[in-house]
Amino acid sequence: MPATAMQFDRFNALADEQAQERILAARARLGKRAVLLCHHYQRADVYRHADLTGDSLKLSRLAAQSDAEFIVFCGVHFMAEVADILSKPEQISILPDLAAGCSMADMASLAKVARCWRELEALVGDPDGLFTPVTYINSSADLKAFCGEHGGIVCTSSNAPKILEWSFARRGKVLFFPDQHLGRWSGHKMGIPLDEMAVWDPDLENGGLTAEQVRRARILLWKGFCSVHQMFQAGHILRFRNEHPAGLVISHPESNFDVCRLSDYVGSTEFIIKTIKEAAAGTRWLVGTELNLVSRLAEEVKPEGKVVQFMAPMVCMCSTMGRIDPQHLAWCLENLAEGNVVNRISVPAHEAELAKVALNRMLEAS
């Protein structure tokens, strides 16, 4: 029989070096039974142990193609949910620290979106005939299921404009959640005027909008944002341009509209990495995305004479993802090696089925 699960308190007191040693030992015991996924924003002392690195969707799809019994996702909660939805039934998705959430994802709950849907019906008629619900992959599984049930779809930061095209081909309007900035920039890239994109505030009755404002809007943008990317400001770019006229600016589309508008390039984490790595030697970059990724990228391209500079003057990390530290990873892996499954992320079957419908629509459309 499996041993009793080891309590985390014993691991919390470990020095970092001790935790690293125990991670390596547990991984040796587990062998190919476990695959360790690390998102680009993960802290360096955990990222070093990754089998696979990338953005959330890429990692989930790669893990599902593996034969590993355990998918250990060093990311945040919604990422481990996607891994569970897309993986084989016999695979087990695990999040080393259940407190590793996403503040943006938490800004749109199923209860709030369902209430929005009811309020839209009262304002302008049947929302299922008017609106395509589009959820950013940075959202909970039940919201992906909501989209699956209501003819909607999931998007990523790289395919959002294409997904909007798919959505408009089916219905005249889009409800986009939870990140208003990705929705606004994607709509702008499609040529939709800013005054045809209204912000729906879920904490106000009818989203704080009139029936006329809802009728006029082609995209309703949920009032949500990324706590990291909201720190970047237009002034940071203008200062960089003044100091380095030949420098280049690249930003993630979760940044606000002015930051995206002033950037030379806008794209996903994978796009940012690829663009800078393929750039000419000796170029200088200002990068608007999470600090762990920027610091790692700066070191990787330094031998080519490239200078990579973080956009904000303050430290700006994904603090919730940073909850997964060497101590939590050691605890998780040692338990698995002893036959104890801890922190399993398991999406209910009916919810997973509907969420997979929305995810598959995305994969087919993009």
110 shares a domain with 162: yes
Backbone angles phi, psi at 209, to 5 degrees: -115, 155
Q: What is the pLDDT of residue 242?
A: 98
Domain membership of residue 81 as a residue range: 9-101+320-347
Q: What share of the chain is helix, strand, coil (3-state, %, to 5)?
A: 50, 15, 35
Average pLDDT for 9-38 = 93
pLDDT band at residue 317 under the 50/70/90 scheme: low
Q: What is the pTM of this model?
A: 0.92
In a domain, 2, yes or no: no
Average pLDDT for 197-201 = 98
Question: Whose structure tokens read 């530290």?
Answer: 325
pLDDT band at residue 166 under the 50/70/90 scheme: very high
> Of 227, 255, 276, which residue constitutes the final position of a domain?
227
In a domain, 269, yes or no: yes
Task: Name the burial class of residue 170, with classes exposed (0-12), middle (13-18) and buried (19+) by CB atoms within 10 angstroms of its CB.
Answer: exposed
77 shares a domain with 119: no
pLDDT tops 50 at residue 323:
yes
Record the tokens describing residue 236, joined without a space: 């940071």
> Which ranges of 153-229 would DSSP assign to H, the alpha helix?
160-168, 180-189, 211-216
CATH of the domain at 71: 3.40.50.10800
pLDDT band at residue 144 under the 50/70/90 scheme: very high
Average pLDDT for 203-229 = 96
Q: Could you read off the pLDDT of 355-366 as tens digits, one per residue?
A: 999 999 999 998
In a domain, 357, yes or no: no
Q: Could you read off the pLDDT of 77-97 as tens digits, one per residue?
A: 999 999 999 999 999 999 999
pLDDT tops 50 at residue 1:
no
DSSP element (H, E) containing 37 = strand 34-39
pLDDT tops 50 at residue 186:
yes
pLDDT tops 80 at residue 105:
yes
194 shares a domain with 165: yes
